[in-house]
């Protein structure tokens, strides 16, 4: 699928944020358990004078429909449970998504268990999808990293990372969990969460480049 390079900036796994989805072992929770997915290709329209979250698009390689990325959002109830990929409501197929490294390893090791059911699971999942996308409202999909929400979202992300990195991993790897390691964890992940939230806020609210130059604020 070809894209108008003058209009769209094309993001693939080579982009830092997308690479994070592949490399961060914590993402395995989002990926395998929650079914939160990131498309392999994300487009950013450079020409629209709106915050980035409103000019981010996801193309379907099967029917070439360019979907507003907010089709898959918390508000629409479509951000999770996308285990088999992002469902395209135009053609009924799934848009290929990025694979987290640890997820791939876990899937490969457990393949003998779930491999048998893969096709029937996917068929069942696919059958449920049209209903989920019947009443998608893009305007409802507010930016989780908006002016008032980035702190909450950032701290929430920090809390999840704390649970995984300071409790989950040490527990399974048989490392000692002490008051000191927990305190350090809380401090580190709180700061990390806030930086993450703020970075995402700045990122998501960035307006189109071409328009920026003409606007004096």
Name the residues that contact Zn ion, by CB under 5 A.
Answer: 60, 62-63, 88, 90-91
Determine the Cα–Cα distance for residues 189 and 205; give it in Å rounded to an integer: 24
Report the nearest approach of Zn ion to the CB of residue 134 (Å). Answer: 16
Nearer to Zn ion, 27 or 86 (CB): 86
Nearer to Zn ion, 3 or 192 (CB): 3
Report the nearest approach of Zn ion to the CB of residue 56 (Å). Answer: 17
Q: Which residues pair with 57 in a beta bridge?
A: 43, 68
Report the nearest approach of Zn ion to the CB of residue 95 (Å). Answer: 7
Closest CA to 54 of 69, 75, 37: 69
What residues have CB less than 8 Å from 25, skipping those under 6 apart?
A: 100, 101, 102, 164, 169
Nearer to Zn ion, 85 or 154 (CB): 85
Report the nearest approach of Zn ion to the CB of residue 86 (Å). Answer: 10
Nearer to Zn ion, 133 or 198 (CB): 133
Bridging pattern class, strands 56-59 and 94-95: unpaired
Report the nearest approach of Zn ion to the CB of residue 173 (Å). Answer: 42
> Tokens 């693939």 appear where?
12
The pair of structure tokens assigned to 84 is 């088999």
What residues have CB less than 8 Å from 177, skipping those under 6 apart?
A: 166, 167, 170, 171
Nearer to Zn ion, 62 or 122 (CB): 62
CA 99 to chain centre: 11
């Amino acid at each position: 699928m070809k894209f108008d390079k003058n209009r769209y900036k094309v993001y693939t796994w080579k982009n830092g944020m997308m690479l994070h989805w592949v490399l961060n072992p914590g993402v395995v929770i989002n990926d395998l358990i929650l079914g939160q997915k990131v498309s392999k290709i994300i487009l950013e329209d450079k020409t629209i004078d709106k915050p980035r979250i409103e000019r981010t698009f996801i193309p379907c390689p099967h029917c070439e429909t360019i979907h507003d990325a907010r089709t898959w959002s918390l508000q629409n109830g479509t951000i999770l449970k996308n285990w088999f990929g992002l469902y395209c409501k135009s053609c009924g197929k799934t848009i290929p998504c990025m694979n987290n490294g640890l997820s791939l390893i876990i899937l490969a090791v457990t393949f003998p268990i779930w491999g048998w059911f893969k096709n029937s699971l996917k068929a069942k999942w696919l059958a449920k999808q049209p209903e989920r996308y019947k009443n998608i409202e893009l305007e409802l999909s507010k930016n989780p990293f908006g002016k008032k929400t980035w702190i909450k979202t950032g701290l929430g992300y920090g809390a999840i990372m704390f649970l995984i990195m300071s409790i989950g991993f040490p527990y399974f790897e048989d490392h000692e969990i002490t008051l000191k390691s927990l305190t350090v964890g809380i401090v580190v992940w709180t700061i990390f969460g806030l930086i993450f939230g703020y970075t995402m806020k700045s990122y998501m609210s960035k307006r189109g480049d071409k328009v920026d130059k003409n606007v004096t604020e």
